[in-house]
Amino acid sequence: MKWRHLIATLRILFFALSFIVLPFSPSLAGSNPKPDHQSSLIIDADKQFDFAQHHFTTQAYAMAIIEYQRFIYFFSEDKRVPLALYRIGMSYYLMNRFQEAVESFEKVIHQYADTDLSVKSYFMVSKSLLGLKDSGSAIINLHNLIALTDDVNVKDEANYRIGWIHLEMDSWEKATVFFAKISPHNKPKYRLERLSAELEKVKLLPKKDPEIAGLLSIIPGGGYLYCERYQDALIAFLLNGALIYAAYESFDEEHYALGGLISLVGLGFYAGNVYGAITSAHKYNRSKKGQFLRKLKESSKVNFWVDIENQGAGLALLWNF
Amino acid sequence: MKMTRIDYRTVIVILLLFLLNGNAFAGQKQKIEKNLTTTEPDAVLVLPIQLYQKYLSKVDGNRCPMEPSCSTFCVTAIKKHGFLLGWIMCSDRLTRCGRDEEKISIPIWINNKKRIYDPVHHNDFWW
């Protein structure tokens, strides 16, 4: 009995000692009140911004948006917050998420008016709206910028951009009006002399008159032939000829139901031949103008490159020799 | 005048030939432009095309060189512009299918096959 009692006492003592000694043991996690400076890192504004910028420059735009948002949240007093907002807009733009890009750039415009970034954001709102195929709103936005700014260079750039939007919209005369608004000292910068000379060539573009195409289609395929669609012309001629002949034969043989049905189908194809010829003339003109515009862009357009590093506005000059 | 038995047969054969006009009408049912509704007279013309898409085209295969296929183009045109103009645009498309359009329209690749992109809005943009 004595031995048992002794053992029980020793066991209690052992556990009691364990509870007293163990908390002071250095091997226990969390027992060290000093932080481990070698394995921990304090993120400051610079580090967070650099990290966001790293994602942005490596084109990981979705990650860049998150990191720039984190930067804005934790370092809202930092002077780079407007730039972070602008970069969020740029990230959305480069991801072709134009609606969100517009919203981000508008935040910069409203929160940081009268800054360089605000001007840049105006231009980017227009570019994003063009991405949304809303040319009208893009032009209105640039007009707003012209009305708000006193900087002649900014006004000139806005007019130049409006001119090009009109060119893209096939409004050649309006485009010329806006190019003419650019101040004389900036005209060489935008190479307007060359652009005007190229624009004169619009008058020399080959055209097909839709009315003539429609009239020529009285003879099936004639309109397609006029629009240089030779295979379509042959098919239209043979198909319509065959249907007209089949309808004539059917009525001649007193198969009126058959004749009526063939006539119904034939009338559709005949009207389709007229409609198709008119459409083909329009398509021909549109295609020629599109080709001309592409050449014009390659030879005369001053491109404003996408501002990745935000080191100032850039102009890219293209010249075909 | 009474319609003879031959008349009926010929009508059926012509209708079948018209529907089976392989290359021209071939093509699986594709996504049709959004927000288009069909009125009852239009549905009369759309129904055979949809039946064709559902039963014949699946067997026949998607062989139309245009995108959207002629059958989808026709359904869209009828839904967008009604029976008469839809039928005219449909006839025009069947005439043009896969030839000179290649020179003027944008090529696109679907399942590694080159198609000529010619939707309805490329044919009614001018009015």
Express each pLDDT in A172-193 by its tens digit: 888 889 998 999 988 888 888 8
Phi, psi of A258 (to 5 degrees): -65, -45
Phi, psi of A316 (to 5 degrees): -115, 125
| Residue A166: CA count within 13 A, CB half-sphere | 19
Q: Does B87 touch chain A (CB under 8 A)?
A: yes
C-alpha B21/C-alpha B52 separation (Å) is 11
Q: Do B94 and A232 touch (CB under 8 A)?
A: no
Most confident of A146-150, A290-294, A299-303: A146-150
**Any domain includes B127:** no
Higher-pLDDT residue of A149 and B106 is A149
Overall number of domains in chain B: 1
B106 neighbors B117 (Cβ within 8 angstroms): yes
Closest residue of A to B84, CA-based?
A268
C-alpha A270/C-alpha A220 separation (Å) is 7
Closest CB from B1, B88, B100 relative to A254: B1
Q: Is the pLDDT of residue A318 over 70?
A: no
Locus of tokens 């939707």: B119
Preferred mutation among A249, A250, A283 to probe B, highest tally of B CBs within 10 A: A283
**Residue A113: its pLDDT value, please?**
87
Phi, psi of A135 (to 5 degrees): -65, -35
Spell out which residues of chain A touch residue B4, defining contact as CB-CB under 8 Å.
255
Q: Is the pLDDT of residue B19 over 70?
A: no
Closest C-alpha to A127, from A141, A116, A109: A141
What SS3 class is residue B53? helix
Its sign, for the CA torsion A64, A69, A70, A76, is positive
Q: Is the pLDDT of residue A316 over 50?
A: no
ipTM of the complex: 0.73
The CATH architecture of the domain made up of A46-149 is Alpha Horseshoe (1.25)
Q: Is the pLDDT of residue B5 over 60?
A: no
Preferred mutation among A261, A289, A294 to probe B, highest tally of B CBs within 10 A: A261
A104 neighbors A125 (Cβ within 8 angstroms): no
Angle at A203 between CA A197 and CA A209, to 5 degrees: 160
**Residue A3: its pLDDT value, please?**
64
Preferred mutation among B1, B4, B5, B7 to probe A, highest tally of A CBs within 10 A: B7
**Residue B106: its pLDDT value, please?**
83
3-class secondary structure for chain A?
Answer: CHHHHHHHHHHHHHHHHHHHHHHHCCCCCCCCCCCCCCCCCCCCHHHHHHHHHHHHHCCCHHHHHHHHHHHHHHCCCCCCHHHHHHHHHHHHHHCCCHHHHHHHHHHHHHHCCCCHHHHHHHHHHHHHHHHCCCHHHHHHHHHHHHHHCCCHHHHHHHHHHHHHHHHHCCCHHHHHHHHHCCCHHHCCCCCHHHHHHHHHHHHHCCCCCHHHHHHHCCCCCHHHHHCCCHHHHHHHHHHHHHHHHHHHHHHHCCCHHHHHHHHHHHHHHHHHHHHHHHHHHHHHHHHHHHHHHHHHHHHHCEECCCCCCCCCCCCEECCCC
A203 neighbors A176 (Cβ within 8 angstroms): no
Express each pLDDT in A245-273 by its tens digit: 999 999 999 999 999 999 999 999 999 99
Lowest mean pLDDT across A107-121, B35-49, B80-94: B35-49
**Residue ranges making up the domain that contains B109:** 5-122
Q: Is the pLDDT of residue A319 over 50?
A: no
Spell out which residues of chain A touch residue B92, defining contact as CB-CB under 8 Å.
272-273, 275-276, 279
CA distances from A48 to A41, A68, A87, A193 (A): 12, 8, 14, 47
Tokens of A312: 């100032």
Q: Do A232 and B95 touch (CB under 8 A)?
A: yes
Mean pLDDT, range A190-210, rounded to an integer = 85
Phi, psi of B114 (to 5 degrees): -80, 130
Tokens of A310: 């935000």
Closest residue of A to B120, CA-based?
A279
Q: Is the pLDDT of residue A91 over 50?
A: yes
DSSP letter for B85, please: H
Q: Alpha-carbon dihedral of residues A207, A213, A215, A217, nearest 10 degrees?
A: 160
C-alpha B48/C-alpha B46 separation (Å) is 6
Closest residue of A to B90, CA-based?
A272
**Any domain includes B10:** yes
Sequence ranges of the domains in chain A: 46-149, 210-300
Mean pLDDT of chain A: 85
Query: CB pairs below 8 Å between A and B: how many?
Result: 80
Q: Is the pLDDT of residue A43 over 60?
A: yes
Locus of tokens 């009614």: B124
C-alpha A99/C-alpha A93 separation (Å) is 9
Express each pLDDT in B74-90 by its tens digit: 999 998 998 899 999 99
